[in-house]
A and B are shown apart, each in its own frame.
Chain A
């Protein structure tokens, strides 16, 4: 036998050994039980292909809504909108209606500018002047008549405090 023949024979033997080792390695991972399990998985996958996919409910919709709740919510919304509309219309009508003073009076006072409010001061001063005149008249009367009743009244005034 030549060296080339010997080399080829060794290579052939090595390839056969490689094949046997490769098969043994794969078979070590996949024994009969693993093969049966894989077969069952394949058939299960094929069976599931024929069925329509199951749709899971969205978590938010998992709690069933009460039947009348949506209906009543709509009514509440409609009533709120109607109330708002009625309020606005009524408010506008009250501004427009003639012969009603209370609505106009209050805004007029509120809308009075600061300058006009300052105009009250002379009126107060006038009232103070009238009060002074009254007091002067009382003093004169007291001095004129010397009534004891009026003196007692005079004693009650601030000018006679101790």
Chain B
């Protein structure tokens, strides 16, 4: 598993050169921070609901691809949002909120993975077919049952290969190809250098190339 990203909510990511930080999420986060600072917590919570609505689908996609379990993804996303609200005073308005949130989300997902590993050590292991249950979901609607079956088998194969990637490669691959983040954004969110991000991404794609070609 990739190590927990240092300085969770306390330190903000490095700003990206030449990019505007005024995304809708950043604007909302700045507003919430000011409301909390002036003691208007009820209003801050109300505005925070809008921020959750803006980011939660994207957050759930990333968390689910990383954790491969809907309940764990739900918990991780909830924990991430709670942590954001509790540490909103540490958010720096001059930096993109999305990157700061991604960092918190990845750490929440890592915490959930650790909790799951602890739980699995304590309880009896489940059968292998149950472990792979989430992998065998149909990815999208297909016109015929034969094509749907074929797509499902290929999707299962790709999912298995992605799940078998080393943790850092899997994290970088998920952020890059599920959340569509740039290497610079991934570097800011994970604390890696952009060069390291590119190396992990290259290695992940090299391992997945064969199975992805078959899928295409």
Interface residues of A (CB under 8 A from B): 7, 10-11, 13-15, 17-30, 34-35, 38-39, 41-43, 45-47, 49-50
Chain B 76-90 per-residue mask, 1 if CB under 8 angstroms from chain A, else 0: 011001100110000
Q: Is the CB of A17 within 8 A of B215?
A: yes
The reply on B97 being an interface residue by CB < 8 A is no
The reply on B57 being an interface residue by CB < 8 A is yes
Complex CA gap A49/B41 in Å reads 11
Number of interface residues of B (CB under 8 A): 38
The reply on B209 being an interface residue by CB < 8 A is yes
Q: Is the CB of A15 within 8 A of B212?
A: yes
Cβ contact of B178, chosen from A13, A23, A43, cutoff 8 A: A23
User: Distance (Å) between the CB of B45 and the closest chain A CB?
Assistant: 5
Chain B 125-148 per-residue mask, 1 if CB under 8 angstroms from chain A, else 0: 000000000100111100000000
User: Distance (Å) between the CB of B133 and the closest chain A CB?
Assistant: 12
Surface stretch bound by A, among B6-14, B59-67, B105-113, B115-123: B59-67
Cβ contact of B56, chosen from A18, A38, A49, cutoff 8 A: A38
Residue among A10, A17, A26 with most chain B CB within 10 A: A26
CB-nearest residue of chain B to A50: B41
Cβ contact of B177, chosen from A10, A18, A25, A34, cutoff 8 A: A18
Contacts of B215 in A (CB 8 A): 14, 17-18
Contacts of A22 in B (CB 8 A): 61, 65, 139, 177-178
Kindly identify, within residues 159 to 216 of chain B, every residue whose CB is under 8 Å from any CB belonging to chain A: 177-178, 180, 205, 209, 212-213, 215-216
Complex CA gap A7/B85 in Å reads 45
Contacts of A42 in B (CB 8 A): 49, 52, 78, 81-82
Cβ contact of A39, chosen from B53, B73, B137, B177, cutoff 8 A: B53
Contacts of A47 in B (CB 8 A): 45
Contacts of A39 in B (CB 8 A): 49, 52-53, 56
Cβ contact of B216, chosen from A17, A27, A28, A29, cutoff 8 A: A17
Complex CA gap A35/B52 in Å reads 9
Contacts of A34 in B (CB 8 A): 74
A21 touching B139 in the complex, CB below 8 Å, given contacts A15-B212, A27-B57 = yes
Q: Is the CB of B216 within 8 A of A26?
A: no
CB-nearest residue of chain A to B174: A22
Complex CA gap A21/B134 in Å reads 13
The reply on B48 being an interface residue by CB < 8 A is yes
Cβ contact of A46, chosen from B82, B137, B140, cutoff 8 A: B82
Complex CA gap A46/B180 in Å reads 30
CB-nearest residue of chain A to B52: A39
Contacts of B138 in A (CB 8 A): 28
Q: A35-B53, A42-B81, A46-B82 are in contact. List 17 more A-B contacts (CB 8 A).
A: A11-B209, A13-B216, A14-B216, A18-B158, A19-B177, A22-B139, A24-B139, A26-B60, A26-B64, A29-B73, A30-B70, A34-B74, A38-B60, A42-B49, A45-B82, A49-B86, A50-B41
The reply on B101 being an interface residue by CB < 8 A is no
Cβ contact of B57, chosen from A24, A25, A30, A45, cutoff 8 A: A30
